[in-house]
Structure 1
Amino acid sequence: MTRRGITRALQCAALASGLVLSVAAAAEDVVIRDARGRDVTIGHPTRIVSIGGAVTEILYALGAEDRIVAIDTTSLYPPKATAEKPNVGYMRQLSAEGVLGLNPQLVLAIAGSGPKETIDVIDAAKIPLILVPETFSEAGMLDKIRLVAKVAGLDARGKCLADAVSSDLAALRELRAKMTSPQRVMFVLSFLDGRVMVAGKKTAADEIIKLAGGVNVVDNFDGYKIMNDEAIAAAKPDLILSMERGKETLQSEQIFASPSFALTPAAKTKRLVAMDGLYLLGFGPRTAAAARDLAVKLDPALSSEAASFKPASLAVNCRQ
C-alpha cells in the first residue's frame, strides 16, 4: 500500500472510531423522566432487572429478553420468562440484596414497586432505577410501551408495538359501539369469610370493564375496599368478574350461595367470569384482546363480530 493509501486508511479508521465514540456517548446520554418525576440518565443497559408483568411482557415483545437478568413474580407472560429468568420476588416486597446481587445496570420497575426502603437502598447504590408510570387508560398503555422501548434503545420497535396496540384499541371501540345493552359488572378481588373486597374507580379493573363496554357498579369510592352485603345487593350487578387463582378461583356455587350475592341479578343467571390476572389487569400489549374477550362475556351477541377482530398485538413481529 502506498503512503497516501496508508494515510487514507488511518483517516478512515479515525473517522470510524470517532463515529463509534459519538454513538456510544449518545447512548450514555439518554435521559428518561420516570414516574417519580425524576430525570434518570442511562447508557445502553444490558443487565436489566424487570419488575412488573407489563414491563417484562413489553421487553419480550421488543426482543430485548436477552438483556433481562431477573424478573418478579408478576411477570408471568410470556410463560418462558418464568422458566428462564431468576425471580426476585413480589414487586411490592423486593429485597435490595436480591436485586443488587445480580449486578444490574438498570432496574426497570412499574410504579408501586417497593417497599420504599428497598428503593432507597437501590438509589443509594447508584444503580439507575426507573419507575414506569402506571396509568390505567388507553393513552397510559401506549406511553408505557414507548417508554420501555426508549429505555431499551428500541424506539422503532416500540413504535411498531404501539401502532399495533393502537389498531387493536380502534377495533375495540368499534366492537363496543355494537353492544346493545351495557352490563353492570362488579369486580371481586377477594372473597374470604364473607368479606368481599371489590374494585372501585381508578383501578385496572374499573378501566378494563369500561374498555369492554361494561359499567362498573362500584362508583362511590376509589381503589379496592370491603363492601357489605346491603351495598352489594343495592349495586345490582348483572355479572361478577374475578381473577383466576388456580384452586382458589371463585366458583359460581360458592359466591352465589352467600348472602352477599344471593339477591343480585347475577345470582339469578349464575354469571361469574374469571380471567387470567395479568391478561385482564396488566395493561400491557394484550389488554385490547382481553377487553375483547370480556366484551363477548358481557354480550354474547357480539361473538360473531369479535371473531373477526384479530388483535394485531398478538400477531405482529416487533422484535427486529
Structure 2
Amino acid sequence: MSQVDVSAIPGAAMAASAYGPRRIVCLTEEPTETLYALGEAHRIVGISGFTVRPARARKEKPKVSAFTSAKIGEILKLEPDFVIGFSDIQADIAAELIRHGVEVWISNHRSVDGILDYIRRLGALVGAADKANAYADSLQQGLEEIQASAALLPRRPKVYFEEWDEPLITGIRWVVELMRIAGGDDVFPELANESLAKNRILATTDPVVARAPDIIFGSWCGKKFRPEKVAARPGWDAIPAVRNGELHEIKSPLILQPGPAALTDGVREIARVIEAWVQRYA
C-alpha cells in the first residue's frame, strides 16, 4: 500500500474544508505528502526541493527550500499564512520567517506513534480532522498487518541500518521501530532514541563487526548507497551480511522522512528484504 485513498475510507468527510490556513508552504516532504493524501493539496503554495512524493507535487508547486536553507524572499512572495517545517535543523529558517510575521509550525516527531500523531494534528490544523484520523487509522492497520506477518517468521535477523557513511550514523528511532515491526532486530538499539544524528555516530567501524548483522540497510540521504564500498571496509568481510551479499539500499525518501512514505513503502521494503532473508537462511 503506497498510498491510501482517503475517499474510500468509510466515514471520512471529503468536502473541502472552509477552515484553517489557505496558503501553506511545506519546508519538508511529509506535510506535502500528507496534505495531498487528505485531499488538501489546494492549500499548498510552495514545497521543498527535495520533495518526490507525490510526484505530481513537483510539477504543480514551486520549490522554495532545501532542508537546511530556504529562499526566504521567494517564500514571502507567496504570501503564506502558514509554514510547516521539521526539527531543530530548520530553527533558523523558522526564526527568520517568524521575524517577517509568518506563522510557523516546526514539528519534532521521531517515532512511529509520533508520525501517526503528526498526521492527525496536521489534519486538525487545516480543518480536516476526520479525514486525518481515518488516514492515520488506515496506516496503523497496515503496520499491524505487517507486524502480524512478521510474528510468524521462524527467525528474526539482526539488522544494521546506516543513515550515513562518513562518519557512520546509525538509524533514527522511527526507522528502528519499523525494522522491528517488519521482523528484524536492530543491532544498535541503545542509539535509536538519540534524536540528533551527531549522537548516533560510530567512532569506528569495529562495533558493527562485533555485532555481526545478518542484513545491512543503507540509506545515505542525498547520495546513492554503495554496497561495494561497505563490503570493502577493513574487517567487514567477517560480517554475515557482507559474506552473504545482504546489503540493501532503501531510497531515503521512502524511509528517512518522518511521514506517510516510511509507514507504507518504506516499511514494506524492509519487510520484503527480511522475508526473503528468512526464506534463504531460516
CA gap of 1:260–1:297, structure 2 versus 1, over 3 A, is: same
1:148 to 122, 139, 154: 122
Deviation at 1:164, TM superposition (A): 1.2
Q: Which residue in 2 is equivalent to 1:126?
A: 101
Asked if structure 2 preserves the Cα contact closer than 8 Å seen for 1:51 and 1:113, the reply is no
Q: Distance in 2 between matches of 1:242 and 1:171?
A: 25
Which one of the candidate residues 187, 194, 214 is aligned to 1:217?
187
Which range moved further: 231-240 or 218-227? 218-227
Give the deviation of 1:245 after TM superposition: 6.8
1:188 Cα offset (Å): 1.6
Q: For 2:36, what is the secondary structure of its paired residue?
A: helix
Structure number, greater radius of gyration? 1
CA contact (8 A) 1:94 1:114 kept: no
User: Offset at 1:241?
Assistant: 0.4
Question: Are 2:81 and 2:102, in contact at CA under 8 Å, matched by a contact in 1?
Answer: yes
Aligned to 2:245: 270
**Cα shift at 1:180:** 1.8
Q: TM-score, normalised by structure 2?
A: 0.81
Q: 1:216 to 1:171 in 2, by over 3 A?
A: same
Taking the aligned partners of 1:150 and 1:68, their CA distance within structure 2 comes to 16
Partner residue, 2:272:
296
Identity of matched residues, %: 24
Which letter does structure 1 place at the counterpart of 2:182? Answer: A
Answer yes or no: is the 8 Å Cα contact 2:120–2:132 preserved in 1: yes
CA apart distance, 1:301: 7.1
Match of 1:205 in 2: 175
Deviations 1:279-310 (A, max 9, x none): 1232322433322331221132778xxxxxxx
Q: Is the 8 A contact 1:198 1:227 kept in 2?
A: no
Three-state SS of the structure 1 residue aligned to 2:202 is strand
Q: Which one of the candidate residues 228, 235, 253 is aligned to 2:204?
A: 228
Tell me the equivalent position of 1:68.
44
CA contact (8 A) 2:155 2:278 kept: no
Distance 1:288 1:129 in 2: 25
Deviations 1:111-145 (A, max 9, x none): 335242x32222222221112341312x2122111
Q: Deviations over 1:97-118 (max 9, x none)?
A: 33223211111222335242x3
How far residue 208 of structure 1 moved from its aligned partner, in angstroms, is: 2.5
Instruction: Work out whether 1:164 is the aligned partner of 2:134.
Output: no
Cα distance, 1:100–1:241 mapped onto 2, change above 3 Å: same
| Aligned counterpart in structure 2 of residue 249 of structure 1, from 217, 224, 229 | 224
- Change in 2 beyond 3 A, CA 1:81/1:302: farther
**Structure 1 pair 302–85 and aligned structure 2 pair: CA distance change class (3 A):** farther
CA distance in 1, matches of 2:41, 2:278: 36
Q: Which amino acid aligns with 2:270?
A: L
SS in 1 for 2:234: coil
Q: Across the two proteins, how many residue pairs are aligned to each other?
A: 255
Residue 175 (1) aligns with residue 159 (2): no
AA aligned to 2:258 is F
Task: Classify the secondary structure of the residue corresponding to 1:262.
Answer: helix
Structure 1's 75 and 238: CA in aligned 2 closer, same or farther, altered over 3 A? same
Q: Which among 41, 47, 64 is matched to residue 23 of structure 2? A: 47
Equivalent residues of 1:142, 1:162 under 8 A apart? yes
Alignment partner of 1:46: what SS?
Answer: coil
Task: Note if contact 1:208-1:281 (Cα within 8 Å) is conserved in structure 2.
Answer: no
Which position in structure 2 is the counterpart of 1:311?
none
The answer on whether the counterparts of 1:110 and 1:131 sit within 8 Å (CA) in structure 2 is yes
Give the stretch that moved more between structures: 121-130 or 60-69.
121-130
Q: How many Å separate the matches in 2 of 1:286 and 1:185?
A: 20
Change in Cα spacing, 1:229 to 1:300, as seen in structure 2 (3 Å) is same
Q: How far did residue 49 of structure 1 move?
A: 0.2
Q: CA deviation at 1:238?
A: 1.0
Match of 1:186, SS state, is strand
TM-score, normalised to structure 1, is 0.72
Structure 1 spans left out of the alignment, 5+ residues:
1-26, 28-42, 304-320
Structure 1 pair 180–210 and aligned structure 2 pair: CA distance change class (3 A): same
Unaligned runs of 5+ in 2: 1-17
Q: Which amino acid counterpart does residue 110 of structure 2 have in structure 1?
A: T
- Displacement of 1:255 in angstroms is 1.7
Counterpart secondary structure, 1:88: strand
Q: Which letter does structure 2 place at the counterpart of 1:279?
A: L
Match of 1:106 in 2: 82
Q: CA deviation at 1:260?
A: 5.0
